[in-house]
């Protein structure tokens, strides 16, 4: 099975409005409520691809109860750990006229040292049956900034490949623990390396400890510095829609490709196709399957090792 970790889970609310106007009152035309947080989005996409998927992290309070109710009976196995704090909510407001999305994210509950100790023991047990693990998203208050580095080391000790998708100091410390893959976006990569030149920044990030670095270039696709070379994967054209969760779908594609032992060009093709197909879906954690299958044949992957 594939294990996803979302330490700062959320109950995602998506509001659709005809047009988002500052300082105005809005009539909401559609409300969608579902479990959220980057790792849970990744888990849903992996499950839709046919992978056995287990999701762990924290959930607490009335919001956490609602989140777990939504997970019950679904394809993603709930292995969340209770916390005394209340799980956060995120609100995405989709302007249907422009296709733009405005995101509001609460900070999350404070996790106690005892709860963190309980979680690490639970995580270690889950690793025994895992073929790969994804560590995704922000850290809730109370968890030390080296938490992902700690979880990476536990995965490496268990012989389980690990993908890290976070930002800031948790990314800086996590990458030094030598994860198999890290997937920063352009801003996160620039913050880590001090460079906005994609080739230089991606290679610099890999030298900091990761086995491979896959940088998101937004609508332009992905750039990957790997042991097999430097690769760029691009969609055939920019896709208009809701970009929320597109990066999480790319993570699912990369992890799925890793488990299926695909060569890097095929992993990147899957990741870019999933990411673009997610932009066409109404909410994070879903993708347009028809668009995905079409895009698999039209994503372009080029070897840029010599050009960089």
User: How far is it, in rounded angstroms, from Cα 62 to Cα 74?
Assistant: 20
Strand partners, 89: 11
Count of beta carbons in the 10 Å neighbourhood of residue 157 = 10
Q: Helix, strand or coil for residue 36?
A: strand
Closest CA to 143 of 173, 179, 170, 172: 170
Question: How far is it, in rounded angstroms, from Cα 201 to Cα 10?
Answer: 31
User: Which DSSP category does 131 fall into?
Assistant: S
Residues with a known catalytic role? 248
Which residues, in sequence order, are CB contacts of 98 under 8 Å at separation 6+? 19, 20
- Give the other-Cβ count within 10 Å of 113's Cβ: 10
Q: Is 171 helix (H, G, I), strand (E, B) or coil?
A: helix
Q: How far apart are CA 80 and CA 56, in angstroms?
A: 4
**Residue found under tokens 């829609």:** 241
User: What is the C-alpha separation between 40 and 45, in angstroms, rounded?
Assistant: 9
Check the CA dihedral 214-215-216-217 and report its sign: negative
Q: Judge whether 164 and 132 are in contact, CB under 8 Å.
A: no
Which two structure tokens, joined as six digits, stand for 184? 């920063």
């Amino acid at each position: 099975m594939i294990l996803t970790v979302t330490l700062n889970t959320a109950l995602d609310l998506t509001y659709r409005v005809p047009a988002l106007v500052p300082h105005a009152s809005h009539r909401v035309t559609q409300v969608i409520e579902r479990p959220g947080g980057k790792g849970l989005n990744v888990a849903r996409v992996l499950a839709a691809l046919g992978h056995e998927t287990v999701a762990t992290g924290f959930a607490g309070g009335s919001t956490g109860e609602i989140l777990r109710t939504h997970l019950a009976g679904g394809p993603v196995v709930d292995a969340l750990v209770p916390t005394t704090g209340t799980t956060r909510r995120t609100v995405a407001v989709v302007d249907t006229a422009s296709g733009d999305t405005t995101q509001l994210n609460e900070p999350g509950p404070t996790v106690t040292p005892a709860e963190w100790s309980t979680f690490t023991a639970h995580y270690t047990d889950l690793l025994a049956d895992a073929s790969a693990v994804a560590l995704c998203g922000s850290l809730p208050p109370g968890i030390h900034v080296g938490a992902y580095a700690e979880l990476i080391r536990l995965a490496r000790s268990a012989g389980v490949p690990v993908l890290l998708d976070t930002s800031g100091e948790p990314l800086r410390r996590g990458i030094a623990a030598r994860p198999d893959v890290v997937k920063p976006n352009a801003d996160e990569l620039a913050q880590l390396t001090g460079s906005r030149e994609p080739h230089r920044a991606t290679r610099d990030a890999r030298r900091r400890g990761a086995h491979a670095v896959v940088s998101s270039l937004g609508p332009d696709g992905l750039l990957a510095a790997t042991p097999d070379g430097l690769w760029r994967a691009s969609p055939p054209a920019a896709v208009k829609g809701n970009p929320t969760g597109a990066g999480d779908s790319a993570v699912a594609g990369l992890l799925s490709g890793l488990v299926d032992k695909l060569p890097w060009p095929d992993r990147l093709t899957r990741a870019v196709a999933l990411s673009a197909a997610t932009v066409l879906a109404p909410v994070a954690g879903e993708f347009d399957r028809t668009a995905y299958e079409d895009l698999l044949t039209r994503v372009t992957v080029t070897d840029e090792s010599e050009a960089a």
